[in-house]
Structure 1
Amino acid sequence: IELAKFDIDAPRWDQSTFTGRLKHFFNITDPRTVLLGNTELDRAKELVEASRAGSVPRGTTLEQLHYAKKLYDSAFHPDTGERMNLIGRMSFQVPGGMAITGFMLQFYRTVPAVVFWQWVNQSFNALVNYTNRNAASPITPKQIGVAYVTATSTALATAVGLNLYTKKAPPLVARWVPFVAVAAANCVNIPMMRQQEILSGITVIDDNGNELGNSRKKAERDGTGARILKRTLCYLEGMWSSNLICTSLLKHNLLQRIKFLHGPLQVLLVGCLNGFYVPDGVFLSPLPLRSSMAVSKLEPELRDSVMAKFGDKVQYVYFNKGL
């Protein structure tokens, strides 16, 4: 392949198949990339931009271009091109999420512990949601603050209420409290963090990346709803699997005698499960990150605008759903 004409933005794997999306999400959420410094990430960005300009440095290999694009996708925002904060990157979900989720599942018996870990989790979620937002629809600091407070309050109210309600319930039932609280908070946090998209719509583009306008009724609804589903499923797999395994393991006499290891064991178990589910995109892969929509299904004003400018040349529009 002639590297000067190589389309570095074209997906490396076929995104119309589950396997292709699986490989893509594994690539951009690889937790090993969080260990790389800004210098190496910036070099990767420079190589990606050089490839886009058709001026690939002499001696560059195709594999080096693919690796540079992997680092670029994992660390730089797809809309702004700016380097994202480390904690908010999806590649940080395994190390960051395993610790928080593990402690939420371990320390669920007392109200202070529930309050603290739900607060930590929602702070983490808010940062991740903001970092991976659709930046074509900017959100103000006030809107960010309202979203954070609302989601955190929802999670705390749900968790504390269920914690008190399930005091006498079996351990397995009580262990589901963190998940229910997180799911409820996601239903609030994600729409609140993406409220500007809901109000103004998501920018839709054509095959060549040209902006065609904002879709308020279709794209924002599908994008936000898909993201809530993806994020909730990602939490479900770790909590559900680790709940079953931990409840079984903790019945053994040996583990009953070394209770100080219960927390680290829970964290390690969640980390192993997240290491399989999240990077591999098992629950992210069924839903493409770059979604398409027929022009005929857009709201009338946007549809008419696109057809007036392009006629039948543009049949589909595309938009970024976000992770």
Structure 2
Amino acid sequence: MASSVPGKISLPESKFDLSTYWGRIRHCAEISDPTMLLTTNADLVKAREIVKSYRDGKMKTATPEFWRAKKQLDSTVHPDTGNTIFLPFRMSCCVLSNLVVTAGMLTPGLGTAGTLFWQWANQSLNVAVNSANANKSHQMTTSQLVTNYSAAVAASCGVALGLNSIVPKLKRLSPNSRLLLTRLIPFAAVVTAGVVNVFLMRGNEIRKGITVYDKKGDEVGTSKKAAFLAVGETALSRIINATPIMVIPPLLLVKLQKTALKGKSRGLQNLVNVGLIGVTSFAVLPFALAAFPQRQSIKVNKLEPELHNKKDRKGKHIDTVYFNRGI
């Protein structure tokens, strides 16, 4: 993010009002804009120069050029490290990265092997995205990464296989009801494993705390309570994002297979399925990301006692601190 560029003048958080949900939606739509994937290293160098000029006071007002540079950095660079996030794991690539995996999980008639493969693929992608976009106050060891990854995959596969074995035994349900439940099994597996995944992959933050800052960007200390809030909100945003994507397309597909797609080839049905998933994914992502501010604030009296009497560089009592929630 642009906040990783040093300077004496604070950056405006956004050209939109982030205190409102609609403002955050518009801001997140920019961060997740797929056209940002075309940003080159040369573009990032120029963007950093423009933002640096603003932070040093050389640029007096936020020009369209400044907002373009900030958008490029916000969508491409990690706010804690200043490093460029690997392209497939950026929020601007989120829909495209997930499209194939989601389409695979929602493919009708998957057997045990297919279910296991796509749940494994989904959790592998989730691990990579969660790790790449997490708060970087503490780095995770390779051992922790492998352990948490294994637990997340086991959770998703266990839920999917368990539900797959239960639904056919529900004889009292009509065939249509059993069909709908079967199509919704991936949703249950994804939501369960998604929450487990976030808490496991970012467990270090909860155990050790994350860095909190004053409004000038100066470090105040570390907080486990702020970390729990950050991780919990991120897990909830994953559920908000997954729900419409995993529910709406399969239900629409069931309806279409009985009407417009009745008797059509499997290839056409799969193409329509991918289209439904893609449209839904692009539509809901900004709403899910905007559910909670990425740069979160919290009153210090809600945090650990050792943070209650901190003062800023001017000697004024700090009553509110800020932290990177992660995405």
State TM-score, norm by structure 2. 0.89
User: 1:167 & 1:74 partners in 2: Cα distance?
Assistant: 44
| Number of aligned residues | 314
Alignment of 1:274-285 (within 5 A): 274-278=281-285, 281-285=286-290
**Among 264, 270, 276, the residue aligned to 2:271:** 264
- Please tell me whether the aligned partners of residues 36 and 72 of structure 2 are also in contact (alpha carbons under 8 angstroms): yes
Unaligned runs of 5+ in 2: 1-6, 170-176
1:39 aligns to 2:49 (yes or no): no
Q: Deviation per CA, 1:136-191, whole angstroms, max 9, x where unpaired?
A: 22212221111111101111111111112223662211111111111111221111
- Please tell me whether the aligned partners of residues 39 and 72 of structure 2 are also in contact (alpha carbons under 8 angstroms): no
* Letter of the structure 2 residue corresponding to residue 11 of structure 1: S
**What is aligned with 1:66?**
67
Unaligned runs of 5+ in 1: none
- Please tell me whether the aligned partners of residues 8 and 56 of structure 2 are also in contact (alpha carbons under 8 angstroms): no
Q: CA deviation at 1:107?
A: 4.5
1:303 aligns to 2:308 (yes or no): yes
**Among 185, 194, 205, the residue aligned to 1:177:** 185
Q: Deviation per CA, 1:50-75, whole angstroms, max 9, x where unpaired?
A: 33233459xx9811110111010000
User: 2:109 & 2:229 partners in 1: Cα distance?
Assistant: 34
Q: CA deviation at 1:40?
A: 2.4
Q: Deviation per CA, 1:234-262, whole angstroms, max 9, x where unpaired?
A: 01111111122111111126443311222
1:21 aligns to 2:29 (yes or no): no
User: 1:66 & 1:205 partners in 2: Cα distance?
Assistant: 24
- Please tell me whether the aligned partners of residues 194 and 235 of structure 2 are also in contact (alpha carbons under 8 angstroms): yes
User: 1:297 & 1:310 partners in 2: Cα distance?
Assistant: 23
**Among 317, 321, 327, the residue aligned to 1:317:** 321
- Please tell me whether the aligned partners of residues 300 and 318 of structure 2 are also in contact (alpha carbons under 8 angstroms): yes
After superposition, the CA RMSD in angstroms is 2.4
Sort the Cα spacing of 1:295 and 1:85 in 2 relative to 1 into closer, same or farther, 3 A: same
**What is aligned with 2:220?**
212
**What is aligned with 1:149?**
150
User: 2:206 & 2:261 partners in 1: Cα distance?
Assistant: 53
State TM-score, norm by structure 1. 0.90
User: 1:8 & 1:53 partners in 2: Cα distance?
Assistant: 10
Q: CA deviation at 1:199?
A: 1.0
User: 1:308 & 1:275 partners in 2: Cα distance?
Assistant: 42
- Please tell me whether the aligned partners of residues 100 and 117 of structure 1 are also in contact (alpha carbons under 8 angstroms): yes
User: 2:36 & 2:155 partners in 1: Cα distance?
Assistant: 33
User: 1:66 & 1:309 partners in 2: Cα distance?
Assistant: 29
1:92 aligns to 2:97 (yes or no): no
The farther-off stretch of 248-257 and 234-243 is 248-257
Give the 3-state SS of the residue equivalent to 2:287 in structure 1: coil
The farther-off stretch of 149-158 and 165-174 is 165-174
Q: CA deviation at 1:272?
A: 0.5
**Among 10, 13, 32, the residue aligned to 1:10:** 13
Sort the Cα spacing of 1:7 and 1:137 in 2 relative to 1 into closer, same or farther, 3 A: same
User: 1:44 & 1:256 partners in 2: Cα distance?
Assistant: 53
**What is aligned with 1:106?**
107
Q: CA deviation at 1:298?
A: 1.2
User: 1:322 & 1:50 partners in 2: Cα distance?
Assistant: 26
Percent identical? 35
Q: CA deviation at 1:267?
A: 1.4
Q: CA deviation at 1:132?
A: 0.3
Alignment of 1:187-226 (within 5 A): 187-216=195-224, 218-226=225-233
